[in-house]
């Protein structure tokens, strides 16, 4: 089997969710779950759209799924041959993730002979509005076949239904649907056009939820029968008349033809892989898993937009309300920074453009400055509910404090901006609003500080750190250190502006008293309390009182569960009064600020916190992997790297938080795998504006090769053992 292909013969109901994630295809504008063509909402089939949301009644707002125009199945002698209803003789599903092609082959034994169905589809990387499919039917006997294919408007929604009206129509040769959302009145247009290489009698069948073609034809038992489908999707976020544009796109694609559209799509992917594939000699499993992770990051990059970010579950569905979390800046952004900085810029422009929403949220809570949404949707709207988890026993919503107390999010945004400036050298982002973001986030933390009357030190109280199982704690080290970082960067920005006259300085002076702000930020950075390592053990207490909690094991806490779907945190969670944490917290901070700590401190905290970490989030493993690299133990890091790199390749993982479905792909883990490989094992870093390489490969890795973008240049990096070679490449 090729290193670039994953495949499976499984079609069981139990694997539907995992397979939909594993065989996902996408192009940043839309994502198509890896379900089979005959599947509907019961099998979690979905075409998820980026950046367009709706709310049904009082339910959670979530992104829209488009009507599914891939919907197809075969009927012979009045019997439908569909999985999982009709068991096959043979079945295989695969994704070629080098070319981003999804395919399947299924063989059924009928009363008269063999029926074979093959299909191939792609979400075009050359045209983000386009999905193409080739569907082939063959039999080894003569028979009458009815193909059913069209647009299924019976959509899988977690918190829907979202469309108050779906208008189905036939326009020329195309089937169309114009769906109108109930809350936002946003419209989604789908146009579907079919070309057959055979003659068949065709009629249109329209019901309340579907508009389908019935194509009837006779097989001769010798040849195959192929039809190609050209699907186009536009919304009112794209244009004023999405149905017109969708029709034009599907018609033009049909004229272009399937093979030419596929060639254009593959060509775009080839160009992406030229700059991003990673080659590893001595460990095919790691190389395959890492490149598969990179594939997922490519599938969800919003290249079609100038200001858009990536949801926590990518485009694999409506999980987590399709909202943007800290995951993007802290786990995904580095990949784009070092490979495709235009995408990184797009992600950060989203944060700049949602600054008004962050200001409004800060004001709502009585703060100044910018308090970014924990679960950010369009305009910076915070989709996070006060009751984000459902109790599995009472089935009542449980009060959580993610929206109110995850104040580190604003610092995470600033961290992303600062990394962009360092890696790209593109200071124009500051002129376009990033400077205001940095200053307003510093204003927010200044207004959140509390002062000790006796010592005069500043502290940050009543927060939730990355751990999440422990709510409303004081002096979470990650939060305090990140706030200190924001104060430093804001003060440094003002000092740079004051050293010269420029339009940006003049612009900011109209909004802010820069002299006063500089004094306040310098004071805040200096006086903000950040807990330090114990002089004897080297261990840092995660927050005030953490060491007083019950010191027990993850397995002991897991054994206290009465239902495996229970939420571990909150007021009554099994972990909340113990030292067991959800994910890397202190270790994340130490990784980000590793230059400020010696290797002994990094190792001591790794040794203390890892056995107490449930790894209940896909964000966790990569931080432990990175930290192990920081203190020079790549083989210790390796299994955590593989845990991140295989998060979607192997499937599984948490599907529920209480009674809330949280399944989907794990792009932050994918980003974390790349981060570990490139910045951890390969040791790529920025040191005062200069790219440095400090390799420490796992023992089984004999050679590593990859490309890296830095300061407007692309470099090829080759590593063998401790030796490395860097050469500059021409831009394409």
Query: Which contacts of 507-515 are long-range, i.e. CB under 8 A and separated by 24 or more positions?
Result: 508/435, 508/436, 508/439, 511/436, 512/439
DSSP state of 718: E
By C-alpha distance, which of 47, 96, 16, 104 is closest to 295? 96
- Name every residue whose Cβ is closer than 8 Å to that of residue 324 and which is 6 or more positions away in sequence: 309, 310, 311, 312, 350, 373, 375, 376, 377
By C-alpha distance, which of 661, 590, 666, 579 is closest to 624? 590
Tokens at residue 537, please? Answer: 């053990």
CA of 450: how far to CAs of 70, 358, 410, 457, 529, in Å?
56, 21, 18, 8, 10
- CA dist 640 and 163 (Å) reads 42
Does residue 389 contact residue 459 with C-beta atoms inside 8 Å? no
- CA dist 509 and 505 (Å) reads 6
Give the DSSP letter string of 208-231.
SSEEEEEEEEEEESSSEEEEEEEE
Annotated catalytic residue, options 340, 468, 471, 566: 468
Neighbour tally for 63: CB within 10 Å: 26
For tokens 């027990």, name the residue. Answer: 552
Catalytic-residue membership of 375: no
Strand partners, 101: 96
Strand partners, 610: none
CA of 153: how far to CAs of 82, 140, 167, 168, 423, in Å?
19, 34, 10, 9, 45
Give first-to-last CA distance, the chain, whole Å.
Answer: 31
* 3-state SS, residue 148: strand
By C-alpha distance, which of 169, 200, 165, 170 is closest to 183? 165
DSSP state of 312: T
- CA dist 433 and 288 (Å) reads 39
Tokens at residue 117, please? Answer: 């169905």
- Name every residue whose Cβ is closer than 8 Å to that of residue 58 and which is 6 or more positions away in sequence: none
Angle between helices 667-675 and 284-299 (to 10 degrees): 130
- The bridge status of strand 79-81 relative to strand 72-76 is antiparallel
- CA dist 614 and 557 (Å) reads 9
DSSP state of 324: B
* 3-state SS, residue 43: helix
Helix and strand numbers (H, E) in the chain are: 21, 30
Does residue 426 contact residue 341 with C-beta atoms inside 8 Å? yes
Neighbour tally for 621: CB within 10 Å: 28
Burial class (CB in 10 A: 0-12, 13-18, 19+), 200: middle
By C-alpha distance, which of 149, 182, 169, 17 is closest to 74? 149
- CA dist 474 and 150 (Å) reads 56
Catalytic residue annotation: 468
């Amino acid at each position: 089997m090729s290193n670039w292909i994953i495949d499976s013969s499984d079609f069981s109901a139990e694997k539907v969710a995992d397979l939909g994630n594993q065989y996902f295809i996408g192009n940043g504008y839309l994502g198509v779950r890896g379900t089979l063509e005959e599947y509907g909402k019961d099998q979690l089939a979905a075409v998820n759209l980026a950046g367009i949301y709706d709310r049904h009644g009082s339910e959670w707002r979530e992104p829209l799924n488009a009507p599914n125009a891939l919907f197809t199945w075969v009927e012979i002698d009045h019997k439908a041959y569909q999985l999982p209803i009709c068991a096959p003789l043979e079945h295989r599903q695969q994704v070629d993730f080098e070319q981003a092609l999804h395919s399947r082959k299924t063989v059924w034994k009928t009363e008269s002979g063999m029926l074979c169905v093959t299909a191939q589809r792609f979400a075009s990387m050359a045209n983000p509005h386009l999905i193409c499919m080739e569907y082939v039917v063959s039999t080894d006997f003569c028979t009458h076949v009815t193909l059913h294919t069209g647009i299924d408007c019976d959509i899988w929604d977690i918190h829907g239904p979202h469309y108050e009206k779906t208008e189905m129509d036939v326009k020329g040769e195309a089937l169309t649907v114009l769906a109108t959302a109930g809350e936002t009145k946003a419209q989604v247009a789908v146009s579907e056009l079919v070309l057959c290489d055979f003659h068949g009698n065709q009629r249109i069948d329209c019901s309340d939820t579907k508009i389908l073609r019935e194509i009837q034809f006779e097989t001769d038992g010798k040849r195959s029968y192929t039809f190609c489908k050209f699907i186009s999707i536009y919304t009112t976020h794209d244009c004023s008349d999405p149905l017109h544009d969708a029709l034009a796109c599907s018609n033009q694609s049909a004229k272009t033809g399937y093979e030419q559209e596929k060639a254009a799509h593959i060509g775009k992917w080839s160009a992406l892989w030229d700059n991003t594939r990673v080659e590893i000699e001595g460990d095919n499993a790691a190389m395959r898993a890492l490149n598969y992770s990179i594939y997922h990051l490519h599938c969800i990059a919003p290249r079609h937009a100038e200001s858009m970010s990536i949801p926590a579950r990518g485009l694999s569905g409506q999980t987590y309300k399709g909202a943007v979390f800290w995951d993007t800046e802290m786990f995904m952004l580095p990949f784009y920074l070092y490979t495709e900085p235009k995408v990184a810029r797009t992600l950060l422009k989203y944060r700049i453009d949602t600054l008004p929403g962050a200001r409004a949220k800060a004001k709502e809570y009585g703060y100044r400055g910018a308090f970014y949404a924990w679960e950010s949707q369009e305009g910076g709207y915070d989709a996070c509910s006060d009751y984000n988890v459902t109790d599995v026993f009472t089935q009542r919503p449980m009060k959580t404090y993610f929206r109110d107390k995850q104040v580190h999010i604003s610092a995470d945004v600033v961290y992303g901006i600062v990394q962009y400036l360092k890696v790209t050298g593109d200071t124009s982002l500051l002129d376009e609003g990033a400077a205001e973001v940095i200053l307003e986030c510093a204003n927010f933390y200044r207004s959140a500080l509390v002062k000790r009357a006796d010592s005069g030190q500043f502290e940050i109280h009543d927060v939730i750190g990355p751990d999440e199982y422990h709510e409303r704690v004081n002096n979470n080290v990650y939060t305090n250190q990140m706030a200190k970082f924001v104060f430093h960067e804001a003060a440094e920005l003002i000092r740079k502006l004051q050293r010269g006259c420029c339009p940006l300085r003049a612009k900011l002076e109209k909004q802010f008293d820069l002299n006063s702000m500089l004094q306040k930020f310098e004071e805040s950075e200096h006086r903000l309390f950040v807990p330090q390592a114990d002089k004897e053990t080297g261990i840092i207490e995660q927050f005030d009182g953490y060491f007083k909690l019950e010191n027990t094991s993850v397995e002991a806490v897991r054994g206290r569960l009465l239902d495996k779907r229970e939420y571990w945190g909150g007021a009554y969670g099994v972990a909340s009064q113990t030292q067991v944490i959800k994910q890397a917290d202190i270790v994340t901070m130490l990784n980000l600020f590793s230059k400020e700590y010696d290797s002994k401190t990094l190792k001591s905290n790794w040794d203390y916190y890892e056995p107490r970490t449930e790894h209940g989030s896909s964000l966790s493993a990569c931080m432990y992997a990175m930290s192990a690299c920081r203190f020079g133990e790549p083989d210790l890091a390796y299994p955590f790297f593989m845990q991140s790199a295989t998060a979607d390749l192997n499937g599984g993982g948490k599907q529920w938080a209480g009674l809330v479905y949280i399944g989907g792909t794990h792009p932050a883990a994918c980003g974390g795998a790349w981060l570990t490989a490139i910045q951890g094992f390969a040791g790529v870093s920025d040191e005062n504006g200069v790219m440095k390489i400090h390799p420490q490969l796992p023992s089984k890795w004999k050679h590593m090769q990859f490309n890296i973008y830095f300061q407007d240049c692309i470099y090829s990096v080759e590593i063998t053992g401790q030796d490395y070679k860097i050469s500059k490449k021409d831009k394409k």
